[in-house]
């Protein structure tokens, strides 16, 4: 996985000063552009991750709270790189309450390892329901369990009764769970 | 025909409206923060609303291939409620956002001392954040309200070319244009302005620094009246370039002054939206 040090090297920036972060964070796209940088990271996302590394955890919550969608996505993406323990789990829960497919997908990255199994299953099912590709879900196959299989089976039954299709990736997951 | 609606309250509209707008050629909108039918009583109601204007609403618009930007402000009507005044202190957070292309709607409702204060304070915020300003002119006592708004703009030190004076009519348009401001017109089914009256104004005053919007909201309004005005312009002898100027290039030029108007990849967005799996959301 990409590290903060790698992002710092690629972006060629010094450490951010905490006092500068509130003004810089929303302006990251204007300041650092939105160009591909490394392994799925764009320049603005990398800059924002490094800014979050410079501030205390409470401020990460504040930045997320007042963020626009791109800022919220950048916070969710940066979470697994930050030394913050479980403190940002409420941010994942917030993202998973939305109906924005981008936020729901972003909440299921590596930091979602800290999400309870009950919340994680609901989130995966929500992805299926919203049409978010299951490839967005970190460690899907390791973590999917028989209870998720039961939930998917019931959902497939509802869809079938309504004459509607299941997304192919959800059907594939269900097949795999039934084989186990 | 490509249409940019520079003033529409999409929060109050349905997905059917987005669908019809997209089909009719509307590809970009600006949603100004304004009052809702029900008065708000605390700053938290405003922040959730502002969050929606930079979060959920652009996402909804994107499902139909429409690019959505916002303007943010404490509106003049609610500026009169002391419980809402702390909203002023929260505005800088939102005026820093990429999707926010102006301070607005500001201006007058009843021309009270509280409105004077909040109007001036927000023109100063526009200067601080290097943003244009969208100024609503009052529905009652409009002629005096318009003149007084122009005076306040001139006193503020903001470049008049960065100010849009909206909801104008036959009586108020000349003063706005003479003062170097942009002139906005809200085309409504029965009230503010109609497509045919708009065509007559364009004949008299020309197409420079004129914006046409639907201002569609939770009242009786129609998000396609921009399109109807474009059609009335063509029927009235204007050519396609004039229509494109008023209904696309003028709003792009006005809000482009923010440096934050992002219309990249719009054609592509429009081309892919019909097959986009996002449309299954909430199914």
- Token pair for residue A95? 């993202």
Who's near A158: CB < 8 A, 6+ residues apart?
Answer: none
Question: Helix A168-179 to helix A146-161 angle, to the nearest 10 degrees?
Answer: 130
Topology (CATH level 3) of domain B3-263: TIM Barrel (3.20.20)
pLDDT of residue B192: 73
In chain B, where the domains are located: 3-263
Are B68 and B31 in contact, with CB atoms under 8 Å apart? yes
Are B192 and B229 in contact, with CB atoms under 8 Å apart? no
**Residues of chain B found within 8 Å of residue A73, distances taken between Cβ atoms:** none
Closest CA to B161 of B209, B101, B104: B209
Residue A169 in any domain: the answer is no
| ipTM entry | 0.90
Residue B59 Cα, gap to closest chain A Cα (Å): 7
Residue A65 Cα, gap to closest chain B Cα (Å): 9
Give the residue from chain B lying closest to A26, CA to CA.
Answer: B97
Q: How many domains does chain A have?
A: 1
pLDDT of residue B265: 83
Are A48 and A17 in contact, with CB atoms under 8 Å apart? no
Residue A173 in any domain: the answer is no
Q: How far apart are CA B41 and CA B213, in angstroms?
A: 29
Q: How far apart are CA A143 and CA A140, in angstroms?
A: 5
Contact at CB, B99 and A72, closer than 8 angstroms: no
Find the mean pLDDT for residues A110-122: 98
The separation between CA B58 and the C-alpha centre of its own chain, rounded to angstroms, equals 15
- pLDDT (tens digit per residue) in B259-277: 999 998 885 433 333 333 3
- pLDDT (tens digit per residue) in A88-112: 999 999 999 999 999 999 999 999 9
Contact at CB, B281 and A99, closer than 8 angstroms: yes
Domain containing A54 equals 1-84
Q: How far apart are CA A171 and CA A164, in angstroms?
A: 13
- The residue behind tokens 């529905």 is B139
- pLDDT (tens digit per residue) in B27-46: 999 999 999 999 999 999 99
Q: Could you report how far apart the first and last alpha carbons of chain A are, in Å?
A: 29
- pLDDT (tens digit per residue) in B217-226: 999 999 999 9
* pTM score: 0.92
Tell me if chain A has a CB within 8 Å of the CB of B54. Answer: yes
């Amino acid at each position: 996985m990409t590290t903060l040090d790698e992002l710092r090297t690629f972006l060629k920036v010094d450490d951010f000063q905490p006092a500068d972060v509130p003004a810089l964070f929303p302006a990251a796209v204007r300041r650092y552009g939105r160009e591909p940088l490394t392994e799925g990271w764009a320049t603005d996302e990398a800059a924002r991750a490094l800014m979050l590394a410079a501030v205390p955890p409470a401020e990460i919550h504040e930045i997320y709270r007042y963020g626009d969608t791109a800022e919220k996505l950048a916070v969710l993406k940066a979470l697994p790189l930050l030394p913050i323990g479980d403190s940002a789990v409420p941010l994942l829960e917030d993202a998973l309450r939305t109906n924005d497919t981008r936020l729901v997908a972003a909440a299921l990255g590596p930091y979602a390892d800290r999400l309870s199994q009950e919340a994680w299953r609901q989130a995966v099912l929500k992805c299926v329901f919203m049409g978010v590709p299951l490839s967005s879900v970190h460690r899907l196959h390791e973590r999917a369990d028989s209870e998720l299989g039961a939930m998917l089976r019931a959902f497939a039954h509802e869809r079938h009764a309504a004459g509607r299709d299941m997304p192919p990736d959800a059907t594939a997951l269900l097949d795999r769970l039934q084989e186990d | 025909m490509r249409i940019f609606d520079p003033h529409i309250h999409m929060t109050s509209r349905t997905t059917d409206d987005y669908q019809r707008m997209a089909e009719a050629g509307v590809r970009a909108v600006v949603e100004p923060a304004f009052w809702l039918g029900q008065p708000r009583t605390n700053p938290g109601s405003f922040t959730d609303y502002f969050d929606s204007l930079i979060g959920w609403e652009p996402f909804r618009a994107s499902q139909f291939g429409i690019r959505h930007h916002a303007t943010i402000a404490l509106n003049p009507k609610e500026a009169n409620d002391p419980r809402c005044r702390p909203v002023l202190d929260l505005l800088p957070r939102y005026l820093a956002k990429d999707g926010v292309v102006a301070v607005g709607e500001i201006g007058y409702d009843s021309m009270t001392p509280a409105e004077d204060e909040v109007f001036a304070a927000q023109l100063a915020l526009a200067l601080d954040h290097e943003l244009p300003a969208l100024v609503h002119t009052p529905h009652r006592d409009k002629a005096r309200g318009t003149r007084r708004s122009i005076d306040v703009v001139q006193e503020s030190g903001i470049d008049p070319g960065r100010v849009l004076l909206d909801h104008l009519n036959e009586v108020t348009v000349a003063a706005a244009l003479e003062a170097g401001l942009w002139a906005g017109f809200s085309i409504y089914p029965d009230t503010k302005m109609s497509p045919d009256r708009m065509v007559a104004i364009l004949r008299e005053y020309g197409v420079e620094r004129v914006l046409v919007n639907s201002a569609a909201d939770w009242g009786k309004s129609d998000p396609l009246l921009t399109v109807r005005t474009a059609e009335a312009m063509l029927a009235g002898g204007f050519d396609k370039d004039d229509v494109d100027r008023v209904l696309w290039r003028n709003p792009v030029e006005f809000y482009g002054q923010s440096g934050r108007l992002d219309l990249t990849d719009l054609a592509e967005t429009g081309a892919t939206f019909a097959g986009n799996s996002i449309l299954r959301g909430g199914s």
